[in-house]
Amino acid sequence: MMKGVPYLVTVAILALAFSLASAYDPSPLQDFCVATENANSGGTPLQDFCVAINNTNSAVFVNGKFCKDPTLVTANDFFFSGLNIPGNTAANKVGSSVNLVNVDKLPGLNTLGISLARLDFAPYGLNPPHTHPRGTELLVVIEGTLLVGFVTSNPNKLFTKVLNKGDVFVFPIGLIHFQFNVGQTNAVAFAGLSSQNPGLITIANAVFGSNPPINLDVLAKAFQLDKNVVEYLQKQF
- pLDDT band for position 23 (cuts 50, 70, 90): very low
Contacts of 166-170 spanning 24+ positions with Cβ under 8 A: 166/140, 166/141, 167/140, 167/141, 168/138, 168/139, 168/140, 168/141, 169/138, 169/139, 170/136, 170/137, 170/138, 170/139
**Alpha carbons 139 and 32: distance in angstroms, whole number:** 27
Contact 155, 79 (CB under 8 A): no
Q: Domain spanning 86-208 has what CATH number?
A: 2.60.120.10
Q: Considering only CA atoms, which of 177, 143, 173, 185 is closest in space to residue 161?
A: 177
Beta strand extents in the chain (DSSP E only): 52-53, 66-67, 96-101, 115-121, 126-131, 137-143, 146-151, 158-163, 168-171, 176-181, 187-193, 201-202
Q: At what angle do helices 216-223 and 227-236 cross, to 10 degrees?
A: 110
> Could you report the per-residue pLDDT of 70-94, keeping only the tens digit for each?
888 999 999 999 999 999 999 999 9
Residue 38 has pLDDT above 90, yes or no: no
> Could you report the per-residue pLDDT of 173-216, keeping only the tens digit for each?
999 999 999 999 999 999 999 999 999 999 999 999 999 999 99
Amino acid present at 191? A
pTM: 0.80
Residue 22 has pLDDT above 50, yes or no: no
The mean predicted confidence, pLDDT, of the chain is 85
